[in-house]
Chains A and B, each alone.
Chain A
Amino acid sequence: ETGVTQTPRHLVMGMTNKKSLKCEQHLGHNAMYWYKQSAKKPLELMFVYNFKEQTENNSVPSRFSPECPNSSHLFLHLHTLQPEDSALYLCASSPAGSGGGGRDTQYFGPGTRLTVL
């Protein structure tokens, strides 16, 4: 138990559906991250938030829409996804945030396994 929770753990959706992934951290951290982990590919950073402000968008398609209402919660809104978007989506948090630099350490949640039909 890392102090980062993700819901749901599994999600199956059609290409026309709209769904949201939720991440919550109980560590008092200031930065939160979304990663995509596909089979046979390295972990890909998608978005970074520092103190609720988005500081990084790693050329992610607009069908993925993040939201960070406060430093403890992070959402990933999904709409009109493609089958190639099927992956494990991991949330992470860290104390200082990537914008703050320095010796930061990320703590990961268990992930949401997304399947797009």
Chain B
Amino acid sequence: AQSVTQPDIHITVSEGASLELRCNYSYGATPYLFWYVQSPGQGLQLLLKYFSGDTLVQGIKGFEAEFKRSQSSFNLRKPSVHWSDAAEYFCAVAPNTNAGKSTFGDGTTLTVKP
């Protein structure tokens, strides 16, 4: 069975600063990997996904993530954070035979300081 860990419960960054949110997974093969964002009172919106190929994945809203097999990581990055990026971010892992069976991390809450 797969699992995912988001080590940081809460991160605060200043507007305009760079951002990196960590995600580590456990799975016996190369998994499918996802990052979602959830604003207060809203559902989850997919930011980006990795299935195979290029390990640097570009997503919406200027986000990117890099799959590192050797580190079992899929960290989310953004070069310059905007106040509207304040939200909760979830990493998810799914088996490479069934992307619909995702396991979600506990989430990281991002606060953006003016």
| Chain A residues near B (Cβ < 8 Å) | 2, 4, 6, 31, 33, 40-43, 45, 48, 56, 90, 92, 94, 96-111, 113
Contacts and interface: CB of A to CB of B under 8 A. Distances in A.
Contact of A104 (B42, B90, B99): B99
Contact of A98 (B43, B100, B104, B106): B100
B98 interface: yes
Chain B interface bracket (under 10, 10 to 19, 20 to 34, 35 or more): 20 to 34
Contacts of A104: 98-100
Given A42-B104, A103-B51, A110 B99 contact: no
Contacts of B98: 98, 101-102, 104
Given A4-B43, A103-B99, 9 more contacts: A31-B100, A41-B106, A45-B102, A101-B97, A101-B98, A103-B51, A108-B45, A109-B43, A110-B41
Interface of B: 32, 34, 36, 41-46, 49, 51, 90, 97-107
Contacts of A96: 100
A34 to B, nearest CB: 12
Contacts of A110: 41-43
Nearest to A31: B100
A41 B101 CA distance: 18
A23 B77 CA distance: 33
A109 B102 CA distance: 16
